[in-house]
Amino acid sequence: MPRLFDDSAMAVAAHILTAGPISRADAARDLHFSPASLTRLVRPLIDGGLVGDRAVGASLTGMGRPTRLLEFADRDHRFVGVNITKTRVHAVVVDCRATVTNSFDMPLADTGTRTVSSVVRQAILRCVRECSPTDPARAASGVRGIGISLGGTVREGTAIRSRFLGWSEVPLVALLDLPSELPTPLLVNDVEALTELERWFGLGGESGNFVLATVGAGIGHGVVHGRRSVTSPVSGYGMTSHLPLLGVSGMCQYGHQGCADGALTTASVLARARMGRSNIALDARPSTLDELVEMADGGDVACQRTIEGFGAALAVYVQVVCNSAMVTDVVLDGELVTLLDSVWARTFRQQIGDFRGPHLPPLDVHLRSGRFERWAQAAATTAIIQWLTHGVEETVGASHEHPLPAQP
């Protein structure tokens, strides 16, 4: 498995974080270091208090003999993650391995900057309180980082543009006016954050090359090669939102006939089912994805054909994006992946291999829950990465300034 960082100290710390508790022998093998090099690299992390080695367990490479395991020392490290959608703010508290310990969401009355910044502020402060419910006075001290994500282009705490929120040039982090004892929040693009969650704590642990694709209010994708996220000046613009898709007849807000946005977003899927029913229906159903599936199962042919069409269009989209990105693993997430549980979406599985040469390995599809909590967990992950990077820089920098005596 490729390392998460080229830098040796960073790579060791990141591996202990993502794969720990882990023996020195196993970490050395995984990272292709000699045991002596690994010991040298770990020492400042232990001396600086970032990594502990008190726990005892079995080493995979040491014939199962008991040995000291490396792991992150302080289990009380907490991170806050917040995701902003058009109608709700989702918030989580996670530990340093992005495991969710608290989760909740709050409604948004509108997407005005005053409303959103007020609700995000309340959500963050509630998360901080929940980090230490028995001792609120000390709660802030356990929060090592805060990540906030939204759909759109962001830069240094400012939302440059968000179609979903109707924002341009909104200095969100400054508007939050958080207490000074809290870390400054990191504002990130939601799909980029989700890609980081998978790269560090998800599929990245098994595969260094994959695409993450999301279908929901919008369409987004991230590419990971050699366990590095592909970054670009046009990240956050939804580069595959308007990809033309074979066999698709829907239309998007820009008038594109047959693009991904016109076929694969929640609004376009529901609108297609309603349009099919409009000749005879006296109501405006379906209005939700659950209702769409319920009506399809109940015999509504327009709803059945809509879900079949969604499955087929998603199969085309995934093949185009994965083949262009030269990967054979894809993580699928976003609220619309729940439609794939429906029997009417079997078109997806049936057609996912339609456009592959005979010698190309099959596509491996990794379905995620589509729950909004994942987006908040992903935002928190970006704060974990920032905290770890700073922590290692400080620790290793300090050990350079005060060299330790040589150990036998």
| CB neighbourhood size of 305 (10 A) | 15
- The Cα 363–Cα 196 span in angstroms is 21
Tokens of 363: 């596509």
Measured from the CB of residue 241, what is the shortest distance to Zn ion in angstroms? 7
Question: What pairing do the DSSP bridges indicate for beta strands 364-367 and 329-333?
Answer: parallel
Measured from the CB atom, the residue of 248 and 332 that comes closer to Zn ion is: 248
What is the secondary structure of 277-335 as a DSSP string? HTTT-SS----SHHHHHHHHHTT-HHHHHHHHHHHHHHHHHHHHHHHHHT-SEEEEESG
CA triplet 75, 79, 85: central angle to 5 degrees?
150
- The Cα 399–Cα 393 span in angstroms is 10
Give the count of residues interacting with Zn ion (CB under 5 A).
Answer: 6
Measured from the CB of residue 291, what is the shortest distance to Zn ion in angstroms? 25
Measured from the CB of residue 232, what is the shortest distance to Zn ion in angstroms? 20
Measured from the CB of residue 244, what is the shortest distance to Zn ion in angstroms? 8
Measured from the CB atom, the residue of 254 and 355 that comes closer to Zn ion is: 254
Residues 337-356 that bind Zn ion (CB under 5 A): none
Asked if 191 and 230 touch (Cβ cutoff 8 Å), the reply is no
Measured from the CB atom, the residue of 55 and 275 that comes closer to Zn ion is: 275
What phi and psi values does residue 120 have, to the nearest 5 degrees?
A: -60, -40
Site string for Zn ion, 254-293 (x = CB under 5 A): x-x--x-x--------------------------------
Measured from the CB atom, the residue of 241 and 351 that comes closer to Zn ion is: 241
Question: To which residue do tokens 């790269």 refer?
Answer: 199
Measured from the CB atom, the residue of 43 and 242 that comes closer to Zn ion is: 242
- The Cα 128–Cα 255 span in angstroms is 45
Helix, strand, coil percentages in the chain from 3-state DSSP, rounded to 5? 45, 20, 35
Residues 177-206 that bind Zn ion (CB under 5 A): none
Measured from the CB of residue 247, what is the shortest distance to Zn ion in angstroms? 16
> Using the rule CB under 5 A, is 213 a contact of Zn ion?
no
| 3 state SS for 121-183 | HHHHHHHHHHHCCCCHHHHHHHEEEEEEEECCEEECCEEEEECCCCEEEECHHHHHCCCCCCC
Measured from the CB of residue 29, what is the shortest distance to Zn ion in angstroms? 48
Site string for Zn ion, 218-247 (x = CB under 5 A): ------------------------x-----
Measured from the CB of residue 254, what is the shortest distance to Zn ion in angstroms? 5
Measured from the CB of residue 350, what is the shortest distance to Zn ion in angstroms? 26
Measured from the CB atom, the residue of 9 and 264 that comes closer to Zn ion is: 264
Measured from the CB atom, the residue of 259 and 388 that comes closer to Zn ion is: 259
Tokens of 356: 């592959």
Residues 242-261 that bind Zn ion (CB under 5 A): 242, 252, 254, 256, 259, 261
Residues 309-338 that bind Zn ion (CB under 5 A): none
Measured from the CB atom, the residue of 253 and 369 that comes closer to Zn ion is: 253
Contact residues: Zn ion, CB under 5 A: 242, 252, 254, 256, 259, 261
